[in-house]
Amino acid sequence: MSELLGNFWAGRWQTGTGAGTALLDPVLGSELVRVDATGLDLAAGFAFAREQGGAALRAMTYTQRGAMLGAVVKVLQSHRDAYYDIATANSGTVKSDSGIDIDGGIYTLGVYARMGDTLGDRHFLLDGEAARLGKEPLFQSQHVMVPTRGVALFINAFNFPSWGLWEKAAPALLSGVPVIIKPATSTAWLTQRMVKDVVDAGVLPAGALSVICGSSAGLMDQLQPFDVVSFTGSADTARVIRSHPAVAERSVRVNIEADSINSALMLESDAPGTEAFDLMVKEVAREMTIKSGQKCTAIRRVFVPQAHYDAAVQAISARLGKTTVGNPRNESVRMGALVSRAQFNAVQQGLAQLKAHTQTLHDGAAHTLVDADAGVACCLGPTLLGTRDADGTAMVHDMEVFGPVSTLLPYRDAAHALHLIRRGQGSLVASVYGSDTRALSHAAAELADSHGRVHVISPDVAALHSGHGNVMPQSLHGGPGRAGGGEELGGARALNFYHRRAAVQASTAVLSHLQPHSPPQA
SS3 state of residue 289 = helix
Sign of CA dihedral 350, 354, 355, 357: positive
Containing H/E element for 91? helix 80-91
Provide the pairing of β-strand 152-155 with 12-14. unpaired
Nearer to ligand NAP, 296 or 379 (CB): 296
C-alpha dist (Å) from residue 107 to 99, 187, 471 = 11, 21, 11
Question: Which residue among the candidates 268, 283, 287, 296 is catalytic per the annotation?
Answer: 296
Nearer to ligand NAP, 65 or 482 (CB): 482
Sign of CA dihedral 7, 11, 13, 18: negative
- Min CB(190)–ligand NAP separation in Å: 13
Question: What residue type is 445 in one-letter code?
Answer: A
- Min CB(66)–ligand NAP separation in Å: 25
Nearer to ligand NAP, 113 or 153 (CB): 153
SS3 state of residue 317 = helix
> What are the residues binding ligand NAP (CB under 6 A)?
155-159, 182, 184-185, 216, 232-234, 237, 240, 257-259, 296, 400, 402, 428, 484
Is 296 catalytic? The answer is yes
**What CA–CA distance (Å, rounded) separates 130 from 503?**
10
Question: Which residue among the candidates 167, 213, 257, 487 is catalytic per the annotation?
Answer: 257
**What CA–CA distance (Å, rounded) separates 166 from 109?**
6
> What residue is closest to ligand NAP based on CB?
233
Nearer to ligand NAP, 237 or 269 (CB): 237
Other CB atoms within a 10 A radius of the CB of residue 176 amount to 29
- Min CB(263)–ligand NAP separation in Å: 15
**What CA–CA distance (Å, rounded) separates 13 from 118?**
35
**What CA–CA distance (Å, rounded) separates 81 from 482?**
37
Nearer to ligand NAP, 155 or 290 (CB): 155
- Min CB(15)–ligand NAP separation in Å: 17
Asked if 37 contacts 214 with a C-beta cutoff of 8 angstroms, the reply is yes
- Min CB(330)–ligand NAP separation in Å: 27
Q: Which residues are catalytic?
A: 257, 296
